């Protein structure tokens, strides 16, 4: 049973516009959430995280929003750049020991 | 470069053979994780170590899988009697306790013929 779901396998946006990547989770015990970015032939790299005590965390062009009641989080990238083209994974943890990953969303930013 | 390294990057083997992968974490990290990733899926947790102690194993980790971290530094993941269903990318990550950002290696891609 997949506890973290990314229902959009792919997303295409124009350079300079906003990219919104979504993630849903089922386990109400999750209290820490992360986003990773993955380029081909490389391991995932950490992008941004959020604790359940917050509903928003911002780092430069990247903002993560958390809606606990809906068990939903989203990653906003503004403005999108061609170098942002990658696969994005969301991940969640209840105990800071074990992390559950979604299946990923492939973002394509068109010049 | 002091990132996480994995060896080999690719492994092709025949069904029934044993394979062993190595992971060298970032030197000051005391936690080490193994994940498996199949096509179109995200990384699936297999097991993790804190120093040399293996603290948790996933139900996905059958008896054919064993992992060690003998001196709390590098780790090995062995798969015995490989099956075609074992074909996947095996990822290693490391972190420091209390710091939830995991640093991933490039992975070892296993193909079982």
CA distance A42 to chain B (A): 5
Best A27, A44, A100 residue to mutate vs chain B (most B CBs within 10 Å) = A44
Q: What is the mean pLDDT of chain A?
A: 95
Of B103, B34, B33, B30, nearest to B71 by C-alpha is B30
In this complex, which of A32, A45, A102 lies closest to B104 when CB atoms are compared? A45
Cβ distance B43 to A103 less than 8 Å, yes or no, reads: no
Stated as kind and residue range, the H or E segment containing A21 is strand A19-25
pLDDT at B99 over 80: no
Could you tell me which residues are beta bridge partners of residue B34?
Answer: B47, B92
- Residue B1 banded pLDDT, cuts 50, 70, 90: low
B53 touches chain A (CB under 8 A): no
The Cα–Cα gap between A19 and A13 comes to 6
- Residue A67's pLDDT is 97
For B25-52, what is each residue's pLDDT tens digit? 999 899 999 999 999 899 999 999 999 9
- Residue A53 banded pLDDT, cuts 50, 70, 90: very high
- Residue A104 banded pLDDT, cuts 50, 70, 90: very high
């Amino acid at each position: 049973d997949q506890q973290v779901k990314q229902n959009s396998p792919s997303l295409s946006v124009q350079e300079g516009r906003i990219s919104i990547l979504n993630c849903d989770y089922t386990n109400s015990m999750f209290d820490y959430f992360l986003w990773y970015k993955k380029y081909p032939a490389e391991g995932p790299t950490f992008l941004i995280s959020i604790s359940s005590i917050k509903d928003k965390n911002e780092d430069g062009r990247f903002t993560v929003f958390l809606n606990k009641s809906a068990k939903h989080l989203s990653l906003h990238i503004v403005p999108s750049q061609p170098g942002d083209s990658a696969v994005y994974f969301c991940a969640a943890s209840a105990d800071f020991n074990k992390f559950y990953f979604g299946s990923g969303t492939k973002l394509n930013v068109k010049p | 470069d002091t990132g996480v390294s994995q060896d080999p990057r690719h492994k092709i083997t025949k069904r029934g053979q044993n394979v062993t992968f190595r992971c060298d974490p970032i030197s000051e990290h005391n936690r080490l994780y193994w994940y498996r990733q199949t096509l179109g899926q995200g990384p699936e947790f297999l097991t993790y170590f804190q120093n040399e102690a293996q603290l948790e194993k996933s139900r996905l980790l059958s008896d054919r899988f064993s992992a060690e971290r003998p001196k709390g530094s590098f780790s090995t993941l062995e798969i015995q009697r490989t099956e075609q269903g074992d074909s996947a990318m095996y990822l290693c990550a490391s972190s420091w306790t209390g710091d939830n950002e995991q640093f991933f290696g490039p992975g070892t891609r296993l193909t079982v013929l």
